[in-house]
Chains A and B, each alone.
Chain A
Amino acid sequence: MVNVSQHELVPEHTLLEEDELEEVLEEYDIDRTDLPKIKRKDPALPDEASVGDVVKIVRDSRTTDTAVVYRLVVE
């Protein structure tokens, strides 16, 4: 199987710890279900991620250095 995370189009996906998540939700004043979603079977997702977890994605941005986004794992 091809290692998906090596591809230049795939940014780094890391699982977010619960306490870090709290901080993020507080900062933006949102619920976790308001976050963009990512499917459980998404090939770029870390293996240990399960539904309800939040992944932190660090993209190379076109407008700044890096952009951090979060996605909620669903279904």
Chain B
Amino acid sequence: MTEFDVSADVEAVVEDRDIPEDLREDVYRVVEERSLSVEAADEIAKAVENRYRETRVEPLDPVGTVSAQSIGEPGTQLTMNTFHYAGVAEIDVTQGLPRLIELVDARKTPDTPMMTIYLEDEYAESRERAHEVVWQLEATKILALGDVSTNVADMNVSIDLNPDTLQERWPTVADTGEIAGEIAEIIEDSLGVTTIQKGTNVQFGPEEPSYRDLLQLVEELREITFKGIEEISRVVIRKEDVETPEDEEREEFVLYTEGSSFGDALEIEGVDASRSSCNNIHEIHRTLGIEAARETIIEETNDTLKEQGLDNVNVRHLMLVADMMTNRGEIESIGRHGISGSKESVLARAAFEVTVNHLLDAAIHGEVDDLNGVTENVIVGKPIKLGTGDVDLRMGSLSKSGEQAD
């Protein structure tokens, strides 16, 4: 079962102990390294089990507070300036504290949305095939396709499309004239003008001769997306070593996009819809569901901390944050507009942020505070229901035989 070279007896005694998988592997590693006997292995496993039990969270432990502190302290060491090139190619990604805040605030769109697109079989192996996917993703604007000239005398706009570019971006269509026709059609639909197409040249103008309308048309023309996904402004191809599910390493092309539209991207042929991901937790939630969103929150917060060299934050804290954020089946932010703001107790809400507003609203609506939580009991000076505070003790006595004497 384990990858370490240990005898079946050792495995039997270690498996017998109530310890988690990762610690079990550690035990096997030590046993293998020092080629220990079965007895020694049992001793070690026993010691590990005891230590593990001691360090487990006890009932009534304030895990939330511990997590908050455990993330908050390293948070003070995160960089506060937003941009720098993070590992990934030439794509700017928000890092450090701003990214962490963005995640726990569950912002609708991140500052720098991006996607990591893995490719299927032959697309992943050849740069040319990978490029086909790039053209499906990257938004193509008119300036990338040819030259646009405005003729004020004739009151028209003339576009000289570059045949080579057309051929490259529409690899499935052989005839450049046909592609130009498609482009002309898109222009007609989006601008409501009639176009004249000759080969790779497309011309059109405003209905009534008007200098303003002409310039307006050119402005609008530049905004049209002819191919690809509107939101994706740039795609970078990188050759990377990727581990396959069979634990083999192989080289494949991976795409990184600036801007994201996860749902649309997964539909594109050649995109591996089982591995590709996105840094917008809401898009993940929409396309893959709440569990995938939870996973992404953990992954993204963990990566943000790791990137800054703060990888000693236990992942359990991040898991707790992600669990809380996804508990109601949709992504909620941590702050006043999310989880802290939806607490039952008026006093607990008031203690968090914008005290007066909460108290005023509560007074207007005649809210009642049952004093069940921690914060409100600290405020009124009652024992809190945590640790020993939640345990009621009653004195009694036992007779010698062990029966209740009372």
A binding-site residues for B, Cβ under 8 Å: 1-4, 6-11, 13, 36-39, 42-45, 57, 59, 62-65, 71, 74
A4 touches B288 (CB 8 A): yes
B327 touches A37 (CB 8 A): yes
Q: How far is the CB of B20 from chain A (nearest CB, A)?
A: 5
Tally the A-B contacts, defined by beta carbons under 8 Å: 78
B50 adjacent to chain A (CB < 8 Å) = no
Interface residues in B289-305 by Cβ distance below 8 A to A read 289-292, 295-296, 298
B365 adjacent to chain A (CB < 8 Å) = no
B330 adjacent to chain A (CB < 8 Å) = yes
| Bound Cα distance A6, B272 (Å) | 10
B20 touches A63 (CB 8 A): yes
- Taking CB atoms, residues of chain B closer than 8 Å to A38 are 289-291, 329
- Taking CB atoms, residues of chain A closer than 8 Å to B327 are 36-37
- Taking CB atoms, residues of chain A closer than 8 Å to B277 are 9
| Bound Cα distance A42, B331 (Å) | 12
The B interface, classified by DSSP as helix, strand, loop or mixed, is helix
| Bound Cα distance A6, B292 (Å) | 12
| Bound Cα distance A45, B288 (Å) | 10
- Taking CB atoms, residues of chain B closer than 8 Å to A59 are 291, 295
A71 touches B296 (CB 8 A): no
B267 touches A9 (CB 8 A): no
B274 adjacent to chain A (CB < 8 Å) = yes
- Taking CB atoms, residues of chain A closer than 8 Å to B273 are 2-3, 6-7
B21 adjacent to chain A (CB < 8 Å) = yes
B316 touches A39 (CB 8 A): no
A9 touches B20 (CB 8 A): no
1/0 per residue, CB under 8 A from A, across B47-77: the answer is: 0000000000000000000000000000000
A-B contact pairs, 25 of them (CB 8 A): A2-B273, A3-B273, A7-B274, A8-B274, A9-B288, A9-B291, A9-B295, A9-B296, A10-B288, A10-B292, A11-B295, A36-B323, A36-B327, A37-B327, A38-B291, A39-B290, A39-B330, A43-B286, A44-B292, A62-B315, A63-B20, A63-B316, A63-B319, A71-B290, A74-B329
- Taking CB atoms, residues of chain A closer than 8 Å to B284 are 9
| Bound Cα distance A43, B20 (Å) | 32
- Taking CB atoms, residues of chain B closer than 8 Å to A71 are 290, 329
Contact of A63 among B266, B315, B328 (CB under 8 A): B315
Q: With A38-B290, A43-B289, A63-B319 given, can you name 11 additional A-B contacts, CB distance below 8 Å?
A: A2-B273, A2-B287, A4-B288, A6-B274, A36-B323, A36-B326, A37-B328, A38-B291, A44-B288, A59-B291, A63-B20
How many B residues face the partner with a CB closer than 8 A?
Answer: 29
- Taking CB atoms, residues of chain A closer than 8 Å to B239 are none
- Taking CB atoms, residues of chain A closer than 8 Å to B292 are 7, 9-10, 44
Which 8 residue pairs are nearest across A and B when measured between Cβ atoms?
A44-B289, A37-B329, A9-B292, A42-B289, A39-B329, A2-B273, A2-B266, A6-B274
| Bound Cα distance A22, B47 (Å) | 37
A2-B267, A36-B326, A36-B329 known; A8-B287 Cβ under 8 A: no
B319 touches A10 (CB 8 A): no
Q: How far is the CB of A67 from chain B (nearest CB, A)?
A: 9
Nearest to B274 among chain A residues (CB) is A6
Q: How far is the CB of A52 from chain B (nearest CB, A)?
A: 13
B289 touches A4 (CB 8 A): yes
Nearest to A37 among chain B residues (CB) is B329
B291 touches A13 (CB 8 A): yes
In this complex, the member of A7, A59, A71, A74 whose beta carbon has the largest number of chain B beta carbons within 10 angstroms is A7
Q: How far is the CB of A72 from chain B (nearest CB, A)?
A: 8
| Bound Cα distance A6, B266 (Å) | 12
Nearest to A72 among chain B residues (CB) is B329
B21 touches A43 (CB 8 A): no
A65 touches B295 (CB 8 A): no
| Bound Cα distance A1, B316 (Å) | 34
1/0 per residue, CB under 8 A from A, across B315-356: the answer is: 110010001001111100000000000000000000000000
Q: How far is the CB of A2 from chain B (nearest CB, A)?
A: 5
- Taking CB atoms, residues of chain A closer than 8 Å to B390 are none
